[in-house]
Amino acid sequence: MDKQLLESPNPNSALGVWKAIMIGWLVVNTPALIIMLSILIIGLAIDPRIWWLSLIVGVILGWTWWSYTIPRWRLWAHRKGAQPDKLQRVAVATGLTWAKGSVFEKTEAKIDK
């Protein structure tokens, strides 16, 4: 990874890992969960017999949101000075992201840095 990308412009204002995790949950996982649950609830209201279809659509759209936003959140946190190794460990431990190399981690959308 580009060393300049990871350096904070002001070392005294480096973003703490836990603050980055909290922001990640608010910006990435919470909207993904809202998307999934909303679509499931709407689908149940329309026709409860095909709840499974609403669940599938909700998971696909929620996962798409997660896949698009998680690499952007990570890049933002790195640029703000969060320690990359610690950020990854805590993000995995809190369920914000998946372990490096896992099948699910490979679903993250690639971004140009």
Rounded to 5 degrees, φ, ψ at 22 are -60, -45
List CB contacts of 72: < 8 A, sequence separation 6 or more. 111
pLDDT the model gives residue 3: 46
pLDDT digits (tens, 9 = 90+) for 18-62: 999 999 999 999 999 999 999 999 999 999 999 999 999 999 999
Rounded Cα distance between 77 and 88, Å, is 11
pLDDT given for residue 113 in this prediction? 65
Could you tell me which residues come within 8 angstroms of residue 102 by beta carbon, excluding any fewer than 6 positions away? none
pLDDT band at 15; cut points 50, 70, 90: confident
**Token pair in block for residue 64:** 């798409």
The mean pLDDT value for 88-104 works out to: 94
